[in-house]
Amino acid sequence: MDVTDRIPEAQVDLTDLLIRTAGHDRQAFAELYDATGARVFGLVLRVLRDRGYAEETLQEVYLQIWQKAGGFDPSAGSALSWMLTIAHRRAVDRVRSEEAAGKRSNDYSVSNFEAPGDTVADSVIAEEERSDVMFCLGSLTATQRQSIELSYYGGLTYRQVAERLDAALPTIKSRIRDGLRRLKTCLEANPNG
């Protein structure tokens, strides 16, 4: 069913559907999607202003709803409010991620502008720097390395790293901060191997 074909919310008990979804009831999840998909999509589209990104993000939102439905507390608010909060946060994360990717791309373009110079010497220096970074990344704990790689090389926001690694956001921030400190110390102590 398309997100524009929906069951009116007034005819559906969204709280019941969300609770049943928490028990991995696929039928309840399908009904929940049918009843709320258009509204959730509308919110995501308003934030992202791009239909393609909005469709991708909508899939991520409902995946998160499927995975986190057990965390819904009916006493804290309505099922729809809970879902729209997830959708809004996911859309904002997507905007931030796209902005960060654009900035990295721009920074990369600017930093990789090749002025005339000694390309052999430059490539040797670059290889030494890469080697130093790889060596120092190897000195980090596995969790620090994974968090840094997802954030800096994978382009994920801290929140997305936390979700991907199923860890608390403050924990991820701490891992990345401590890992970057260790990298800096290692690179300062081991220039060029």
Whether the full predicted model's pTM is greater than 0.85, yes or no, is no
In this prediction, residue 4 has a pLDDT band, given cuts at 50, 70 and 90, of: very low
Quick: pLDDT tens for 70-111.
999 999 999 999 999 999 999 999 888 888 776 766 655 556
DSSP secondary structure of the chain? --TTS---GGGS-HHHHHHHHHTT-HHHHHHHHHHHHHHHHHHHHHHH--HHHHHHHHHHHHHHHHHHGGG--GGGS-HHHHHHHHHHHHHHHHHHHHHHHHHHHHHHHHHT---SS-HHHHHHHHHHHHHHHHHHHHTS-HHHHHHHIIIIIS---HHHHHHHHT--HHHHHHHHHHHHHHHHHHHHHSTT-
